[in-house]
Amino acid sequence: MKSKLIATAATLLLAATTSAFSAERVKFEMWHGLTGDLGSAVEEVCKRFNDSQTAYEITCTSQGSYDNALQNAIAAYRAKKNPTIVQVFDAGTLDLLLSEAYVPAGKLMEDNGYKINWSDYVPAISNYYADSKGVLNSFPFNSSTAMLYWNKDAFAKIGKSEAPKTWEETFETLKALKTAGYECPMAWDYGVWQTMEQFSATNNIPIATKGNGYQGLDAEFSVNKTKFVDIIKSMKKAYDDGLVKIKTQDTGATIVQAFSNADCQLMLSSIADHGTVGKTQKPDMQWDVAMLPILAGGERHNSLVGGASLWTLKGKSADEYKGAAAFFNFIAQPDAALFFSTRTGYIPVTTSGFEFMKAQGFYDKAPYKGRELAIASLNASRITENTRGIRLGGYVQIRKEMRDALVEIFANKVSVEEGINSAVERSNAVLRKFEKTYGGKQLP
């Protein structure tokens, strides 16, 4: 009897121990660069994944900004303390591709038994992040593009019911709004992404040689030789005439705040801000979004994707990679796209996700109506060398050089030509330094 009791106790102890081990989740980390409402949305996605199963537990931690997420992950990788997953924004894609610090997305999923329909990704999104062979090494995650936000109430007062489709019409509209008594027809914030990158893509204008950098590290920045110079001249004249107001944190209100308050009647901003405008808008304000204006007489081309993709870093255990693959599979599902797009203003990254959301009537609902135009903008044309994306080394610094130039131009410290030429010269120095660092290495 005693031996039976001992055996029974041992069996129960073994069962309890086995149960405890089976209940222990595999834990892994993801670092991201979003803060505020968008940052909390990412953490909600992570919580939904944790609640959906019991094998894995992801901890998602904001690093304060996209740039911090990239730099902190690189430093942590060198110290062998990196997270399993890191969110890297569009401008940092080349840094990761050349780092060799990542596990290719396709290999990760194949090794862990998942089949991904890579052709399901929206071409303008997948092409931006893919390597020279068209292979996605990271997973597009929070994706957006730039849109024109316009105040329908203000437009009604000048007899207009539609947003301008060309830049020429846009500037005429700004004049009409000013004449009608609006102090701030348009809010602007030296937006390099909106005014240089998106303007160039939608008008099929190059930003750099070598297919905007996709064909080699020896590419040169060349926006001082394109119609980008002309659009900045027009924007500067509009600013001098009081048709455009600079709105940044330094002025007391961002472009989103100025538009939401109905202080300014137009702005160029990300579709990701659609939710924020809806939550913070002036009561009863009627507004909408439209595709970016293009130059008169030209053909509309696809806009560029903004946002970030998710990379899996080397140096982690097989179990952590299983967790990462399960997480990527989870966020690839159409209902996950519906949740994230509802919670933010980001767009679905796959065609199936977009079709699922349409079938659910998502875009028919007032808070979300208009967001489908972001997909239409990304799909506006076939991809060209000028509209695939930007693959330039040190591009974070290049964006800063151009923004600094625009600040000086609008402060009347330099002419438009002088400012842009100087920014291009400094940017090409960045490119040559980056090229030297990688010693003629071929782009993946």
**pLDDT (tens digit per residue) in 341-363:** 998 889 999 999 999 999 999 99
Q: How many CA atoms lie within 13 A of 263 on its CB side?
A: 16
Q: Is the pLDDT of residue 19 over 60?
A: no
DSSP 346: P
Mean pLDDT in residue range 313-329: 97
As a whole-number percent, the residues of the chain with pLDDT over 70 amount to 95
Query: Look-up: residue for tokens 């625009």?
Result: 406
Mean pLDDT in residue range 138-144: 94
Determine the angle formed by the axes of helices 228-240 and 416-437, rounding to 10 degrees: 140
Mean pLDDT in residue range 1-28: 56
Main-chain dihedrals φ then ψ at residue 347, nearest 5 degrees: -100, 155
Q: Lowest mean pLDDT: which of 15-19, 85-89, 140-144, 368-372?
A: 15-19
**Any idea of the CA torsion for 116, 39, 88, 247, to the nearest 10 degrees?**
130
Residue range 2-144+305-364 forms a domain whose CATH class is: alpha beta
CA nearest to 268, candidates 174, 169, 188, 153 = 188
Boundaries of CATH 3.40.190.10 in the chain? 2-144+305-364, 146-303+393-437
Contact in structure between 350 and 121 (CB atoms under 8 Å):
yes
Mean pLDDT in residue range 176-183: 98
pLDDT for residue 21: 45
Three-state SS for 42?
A: helix
**pLDDT (tens digit per residue) in 275-300:** 889 999 999 999 999 999 999 999 99
Distances (CA, A) of 435 to 188, 218, 443: 33, 7, 11
pLDDT for residue 384: 96
Q: Is the pLDDT of residue 194 over 90?
A: yes
> 146-303+393-437: which CATH number, 3.40.50.300, 3.40.50.2300, 3.20.20.70, 3.40.190.10?
3.40.190.10
Main-chain dihedrals φ then ψ at residue 364, nearest 5 degrees: -90, -10
With bands split at pLDDT 50, 70 and 90, how would you rate the model's confidence at 23? Answer: low
Alpha carbon distance 315, 105 (integer Å): 15
Alpha-carbon Rg for the chain, nearest whole angstrom, is 24
Contact in structure between 87 and 120 (CB atoms under 8 Å):
no
Q: Can you read off the two tokens belonging to residue 435? A: 């090229």
Can you say whether the dihedral through the CA atoms of 39, 42, 48, 51 is positive or negative?
Answer: negative
As a whole-number percent, the residues of the chain with pLDDT over 90 amount to 86
Q: Which residues contact 106 (CB under 8 A, 6 or more apart)?
A: 116, 118, 135, 136, 137
Mean pLDDT in residue range 219-231: 98
Q: Is the pLDDT of residue 264 over 90?
A: yes
Distances (CA, A) of 136 to 109, 330, 387, 396: 12, 18, 17, 21
* pTM of the shown model: 0.90
Supply the mean pLDDT for the chain. Answer: 93
pLDDT for residue 231: 98
Q: Is the pLDDT of residue 5 over 80?
A: no
